[in-house]
Amino acid sequence: MPQESITRALVAATREIGVDHMPAEAREVARHCLLDFLGCALAGSRESLTSILVESVVRAECAVEASLIGRPERATRLSAALANGAAGHALDFDDTHTTMTGHPSVPVLPALLALGETEGASGRQLLDALVIGIEFECRLGALLGLAHYAKGFHGTGTLGTFGAAAGCARLLELDETGWLHAIGLAGTLAAGLKASFGTMAKPLHAGRAASTGLLAALLARGGFTGQTAIVEVAQGFAATQAAGAPDTPLLDGYRNRFLIRDTLFKVHAACYLTHAAIDAATALRERYALAPESVERVEVRVAAPVLDVCNIAEPKTGLEGKFSLRATIALALLGEDTRDPATFSDAKMAEPRLVALRDRVRVLTADGLQPTQARLAVDSTAQRVEADADTGMPATDLAVQRKALLRKFHMLAAPVLGAAGAQRLAEAALRVDELESVTGLLRLARPV
């Protein structure tokens, strides 16, 4: 494949995916993505960062065209995408993807929901565009490889902008030229740095990606132009934000695959790269009835890149705690409920027993481990025990995954919508492709 055709080939490979060619499993995972995002956004709508965005941006606009999830206010569609995207990532509890090295749904869905509501789209069109958006950002992530993430870019904010633009281009039924300009605009506007992890800026990356991707598609529909070879052009996206020319043969390998099927859903309300360590610590605590006061020393071994993300040694806030291997392991050994977002509070991070156990955890790297793997050893007054964990495999049974996500959704949504309201929204989300309008879905996502 000639280098100059990379952006065009990405667009062509994604645009050629027809609704009738999407496997049932891909569509089912897309429903799971929608359900999980809505639950996370509902819970995140009550976070202070969302309130700041509403107060600072939404209210001043006095707009009514688009819905805010979990809130009574309305906004412009660009601001709705911004606020809903930030809310969906506020708890860092939303889905993730190893190929994208980011969170696939949270930059795409807020853009599609805002656009779908204001353009009169159906639920089937929404689901179709969601699959397209996730496929585009993940395929681009595969082309760029790990270099993009290693340089310090947050894929949710960067690749997610492309995904949002692609999904919106599909929903707007843009032609190839429109697509190329939308992607070109997305590439020049994409942003997000890993240095922001542990602060409110990380959820802002998701909101900005959704809003910017939506803007790119709308501008392209109006005739606004962008660089149509943005991925591969000199001083373009790959040259400035990855290792140079993408590995183009990979694109052909994804032609008959649907990467959305590999989406991973969080069980713990923390960065996904802490999940394996949490699972290993929980297994040891339960298997050997470990008492926290008996733990003398803990060693966790992870892949070296994990330290760039989850190595906050002394987290002071709940947000920082989500990116601390030491704190999350200590929570697991203490028997705290890491599935509950409320566990990750500023007060919890300051508790003396947590701090004392946290400071006994030593973080090391090991060759041969993947970022989703962890190897844990605990020395107690009685014995040394060890456990390995790997959270990098997608679910093999989607029915089991659906049930687990429903439990998670109700935990997150019921405090905002009530049990009956949460049930109505869950049912609508899981049959979204039968709904006549996106508007009806969003109406159920607002408190009565």
DSSP per-residue letters across 286-305? HHHT--GGGEEEEEEEE-GG
| Dihedral (CA of 426, 430, 436, 438) sign | positive
CA distances to 6, 13, 17, 380 from 254, in Å: 14, 9, 12, 48
User: Do 374 and 402 fall into the same domain?
Assistant: no
Comparing CA positions, the residue from 75, 15, 16 lying closest to residue 45 is 75
User: In the predicted model, is pLDDT for residue 183 greater than 60?
Assistant: yes
- The CATH number covering residue 91 comes to 1.10.4100.10
Confidence grade of residue 307 (pLDDT, cut at 50, 70, 90): very high
User: Do 146 and 8 fall into the same domain?
Assistant: yes
Residue type, 239: A
Contact of 373 with 388, CB cutoff 8 Å: yes
Confidence grade of residue 328 (pLDDT, cut at 50, 70, 90): very high
pLDDT at 254: 83
Comparing CA positions, the residue from 95, 81, 114 lying closest to residue 31 is 95
User: Do 335 and 415 fall into the same domain?
Assistant: no
User: Do 319 and 423 fall into the same domain?
Assistant: no
User: In the predicted model, is pLDDT for residue 278 greater than 80?
Assistant: yes
Average of pLDDT values for 380-389?
96
Read off the tokens for 223.
């005739």
CA 273 to the chain's CA centroid = 13
User: Do 349 and 425 fall into the same domain?
Assistant: no
- CA separation for the pair 374, 278 (Å, rounded): 9
pLDDT at 233: 94
Q: Which of 348, 373, 390 is the last residue of a domain?
A: 390
- CA separation for the pair 128, 27 (Å, rounded): 8
Q: Which of 390, 411, 431 is the last residue of a domain?
A: 390
Phi-psi region of 173 (alpha: psi -120 to 50; beta: other; left: phi over 0): left
- CA separation for the pair 181, 10 (Å, rounded): 13
Comparing CA positions, the residue from 127, 82, 118 lying closest to residue 260 is 127
3-state helix, strand, coil in the chain (%, to 5): 60, 10, 30
- CA separation for the pair 380, 292 (Å, rounded): 9
pLDDT at 249: 77
The residue segments making up the domain with residue 359 are 272-390
- CA separation for the pair 110, 87 (Å, rounded): 10
User: Do 239 and 295 fall into the same domain?
Assistant: no
Average of pLDDT values for 380-406?
97
Q: How many domains does the chain divide into?
A: 2
User: Do 18 and 97 fall into the same domain?
Assistant: yes
pLDDT at 1: 44
- The crossing angle, in degrees rounded to 10, of helices 6-15 and 155-171 is 50
Contact of 32 with 265, CB cutoff 8 Å: yes
- The CATH number covering residue 362 comes to 3.30.1330.120
User: Do 250 and 303 fall into the same domain?
Assistant: no
pLDDT at 244: 82
Confidence grade of residue 2 (pLDDT, cut at 50, 70, 90): very low
User: In the predicted model, is pLDDT for residue 227 greater than 60?
Assistant: yes
User: Do 222 and 317 fall into the same domain?
Assistant: no
Q: Which of 390, 419, 434 is the last residue of a domain?
A: 390
- Low-confidence winner among 13-17, 59-63, 198-202, 327-331 (lowest mean pLDDT): 13-17
- CA separation for the pair 245, 147 (Å, rounded): 11
CA 65 to the chain's CA centroid = 26
With a pLDDT cut of 90, the percent of the chain lying above it is: 94
User: Do 248 and 346 fall into the same domain?
Assistant: no
Q: Specify the pTM.
A: 0.95
User: In the predicted model, is pLDDT for residue 19 greater than 70?
Assistant: yes
User: Do 247 and 276 fall into the same domain?
Assistant: no
Across the chain, mean pLDDT equals 96
pLDDT at 390: 98
User: Do 231 and 169 fall into the same domain?
Assistant: yes
Alpha helices in 145-288 (DSSP H): 147-150, 155-171, 176-189, 201-221, 237-241, 249-253, 275-288
User: In the predicted model, is pLDDT for residue 329 greater than 50?
Assistant: yes
